[in-house]
Amino acid sequence: MTSSSPTPRARQLGLLLDAALLLALALVCLRALGSLEAARDLTLWDEADYLRRGLALPQRGLPAPEWGPLHSLLYLALAQLTPDPVALHDLAYRLLVTLPTLGLFLCARRARIPRALALLGALLFLASGAPHVAPRPSLLALAVVLGGLWVALAPGRSLEGACAALGLSLLLACYARPELFLSFVLLSLLLLARLLVRARRGEARGPLVRLGLSYGALALALLAVLGNPAADRTGRRLYAFCQHYALGEVQRSHLDLEPWGQCDAVMQRSFGEVHSVREAARANPHAFWVHLRDNLQAYPGASLELMLRGASHASLLVPAPPSPARRAHALLLAGMALGLLALGVQALRRPGVLERMSGGHGVVPLALVLAAVLLPSALSSVLLHPREHYLVLQGVLLPLCVLGLAAAAAGMGREEPRGAGALAGALAVALIPAAPLLGPLVPSSQPVQRQVVAALRETAEGLSPQAGPLGVLEAQGGYDVYLGRGAVRVSPTQRLPGESFEAFLERRHVRLAVLEPQLVHAPQLAQDPDFRAFLAEPEDFGFHTRALPGTGRVLAVREAAGGGGAAERAALKRAQ
């Protein structure tokens, strides 16, 4: 058993060693993400929407609390460092991989998990698919929760103080992941119960009242500034259910529908006209139950796969060629297993395992945050879909809790056995050169969306100036954000009933169109003869085309808005 009361000099040396390991871990993260621009494509859809709202925040104000304003605020803050949206995307990507990795190591050390295992745990997170999920608000929420956990794990922190730190961090994190509001409520109720119990015991009420009032004031201030994420004033909960139900139902029933863009049609088919998830459950209980059942069955496998796959390789449980990245991932897992085995052997050699586990430093805060986060994560996965970004927090906190219990059972104190620090340092130094194997690997071809955005930027520079917005017709969602230059996304869903395609282009000031499969097969356009004519002869509509080799995409470019009577000429030509 190691001493739990190290000398001041030993404590100082331990802090220096932890700082050195943290620096080495940061270098590993930087090297692992060094080829990000060539290895990872730009993220469209939801992530692009967070970026769009962040850049527009000074003009439009905060988004509704259920739409992740904290993530948009992060983009706004980072925009002060780089105004280019593409560079901003990559900077946020790197930051939201690095911060949780470092936070995981810091929390593990505060929980008195041995340095080598704390380092291995952080590296396993880095090597897994978890830090590369999209959209990325879950990673921001994870970083915030780990920050609160680090405060809660401070030596001498009372259970009430730990609850307060965790509760406030969960409240802040729910502005990135709204479902964490339930976690905040649970921790708040536990804190209130603990304060009442201690007050009834006759303990000094002054500190208890100050803690309760401070907690309440900070929580109310956050709610006043950012709003109540549980209110769901914009119907986001039903929108999320609609899309994820459609995702499963299209697969179950083999529907010829696009789940993200046509989820309303899928919902109408199963539930009729409903205005809430509760109404959907009442309208067709069987369909609702089948959806829950399928999600529940997929939940364990999806949770495991997230941590066992890498940024550029499939799960280690899936037969595949033994690439260097897969070998590195497997070696990290083997090292973690050996470390846990060593702690288990040490724990079993001494009596009083259960007492040490229940009274070990950090066990209670770790268990609290895991229980608080696991419930909403599981509910979201079962109610919506076990998509990877719903599983990130539990995927990190569950192994961290297991490591904390193992360290407590083994009686790990603040000071480690002789040579343990040197082992961790050697591991960190050895992994710095091998760090690129832990990050996304460069594919054989350049990411498609980056090529499209580069072509859009180059083309937009050559367009003559005009009043009004630069409309970009596309069906993916996000090209306009990375293009900048006053570009505005034009979606096929914005076409009015009965509106001709030519009138649609004119009304929305479309000067650029990304002709890709998602647009060509969009249900609002696919059967329209005018749109088919546009695809066949874009020149008749005042557009010329530019093919993007290797992407399967074509840009349609209109030199001047209005097309100089192009719509009339196109109609006349088709009539002839």
CA-wise closest residue to 474 among 421, 436, 427, 512: 512
What is the per-residue pLDDT for 175?
Answer: 97
- Would you say residue 360 has pLDDT above 70? no
pLDDT at 561: 53
According to DSSP, the β-strands at 470-473 and 487-490 are parallel
Q: 242-250 long-range contacts, Cβ below 8 Å, gap at least 24?
A: 242/266, 242/267, 244/384, 244/385, 244/387, 245/270, 245/280, 245/291, 247/385, 248/291, 248/294, 248/295, 248/385, 249/287, 249/291
Q: What is the pLDDT of residues 337-358, one digit of tens each?
A: 998 888 888 877 877 777 776 6
pLDDT value of position 62: 92
Flag whether pLDDT at 427 surpasses 90: no
CA distance 129 to 431: 19
pLDDT for 568 beyond 60: no
Q: Pick the more confident residue, 499 or 352.
A: 499
Question: Which of 49-63, 400-414, 443-457 has the weakest average pLDDT?
Answer: 400-414
Q: How confident is the model at residue 296 (pLDDT cuts 50, 70, 90)?
A: very high
Predicted TM-score (pTM) of this structure: 0.91
Give me the percent of the chain exceeding a pLDDT of 70: 93
Q: Looking at the predicted structure, is the pLDDT value of residue 300 above 60?
A: yes
Pairwise CA distance, residues 185 & 493, whole Å: 38
pLDDT at 280: 94
pLDDT of residue 419: 63
User: Which residues neighbour 107 within 8 Å (Cβ) at sequence distance 6 or greater?
Assistant: 146, 149, 150, 153, 400
Residue 203 pLDDT exceeds 70: yes
Residue type, position 32, single letter: A
Mean of pLDDT values over 519-529: 86
Q: Looking at the predicted structure, is the pLDDT value of residue 204 above 80? A: no
Q: Tell me the helices (H) and strands (E) count for the chain, helix number first.
A: 26, 5
pLDDT score at 417: 62
- One-letter amino acid identity for 452? V
Q: Which residues pair with 515 in a beta bridge?
A: 554
Q: What is the pLDDT of residues 166-176, one digit of tens each?
A: 999 999 999 99
User: What is the structure's pLDDT at 572?
Assistant: 44
Query: Is the peptide bond prior to 135 cis by the omega test (within 30 degrees of 0)?
Result: yes
pLDDT digits (tens, 9 = 90+) for 232-284: 888 888 999 999 999 999 999 988 887 887 888 899 999 999 999 999 999 99
Percent of the chain with pLDDT over 90: 56
What's the pLDDT score for residue 5?
62
Q: Hunting for tokens 């950012």 — which residue is that?
A: 226
- Given pLDDT bands bounded at 50, 70 and 90, which one contains residue 139? very high
Return the structure tokens found at 91.
Answer: 């900077």
How much is the average pLDDT of 469-476? Answer: 91
Mean pLDDT of 422-444: 78
pLDDT per position as a tens digit, 88-136:
999 999 999 999 999 999 999 999 899 889 999 999 999 999 999 999 9
For residue 236, give the 3-state DSSP assignment: helix
Residue 575: the pLDDT is 45
Determine which helix (DSSP H) or strand (DSSP E) holds 558, and give its type and residue range. Answer: strand 553-558
> What are the residues facing 327 on neighbouring strands?
none
